[in-house]
Amino acid sequence: MPESKGREKRAYTPPAKPAKAKVGNPPWFVPVMLTLMVLGLIWVVTFYITSQRFPIESIGRWNLAAGFGLMMAGFAMTTRWR
């Protein structure tokens, strides 16, 4: 039986895939995000439980703004979480 000829062209080799860019956040991102949300919640709860005397009595109802500001900063960080 006759032998077949070998291939003259090389077999197709697909090009190498480019390295993917690192997707994700630094390791400190999630703990900071969660800490801000929990700290804001604790701030507001403390304000109500202590009859508006703590955490800072001199700023009065602005304690609510401080607590909600902390929580909003944490929630704003969730939009960048990957």
pLDDT digits (tens, 9 = 90+) for 28-50: 999 999 999 999 999 999 999 99
Specify if 41 maps to a domain.
yes
Q: Residue type at 42?
A: I
Asked if 13 and 70 count as a contact pair (C-beta separation under 8 A), the reply is no
Total domain count for the chain?
Answer: 1
Specify if 66 maps to a domain.
yes
Range of the domain at 41: 29-78
Specify if 33 maps to a domain.
yes
pLDDT of residue 7: 67
Specify if 42 maps to a domain.
yes
Specify if 21 maps to a domain.
no
Specify if 13 maps to a domain.
no
Q: What percent of the chain has pLDDT over 90?
A: 65
| pLDDT reading at 13 higher than 90 | no
Q: How many CB atoms lie within 10 A of CB 63?
A: 22
Which residue matches tokens 């009595």?
57
| pLDDT reading at 72 higher than 90 | yes
| Residue 53 vs residue 4, higher pLDDT | 53
DSSP letter, residue 36: H
46/80 Cα distance (integer angstroms): 29
Specify if 2 maps to a domain.
no
Put simply, whether the predicted model's pTM sits higher than 0.85 gets the answer: no
DSSP letter, residue 20: P
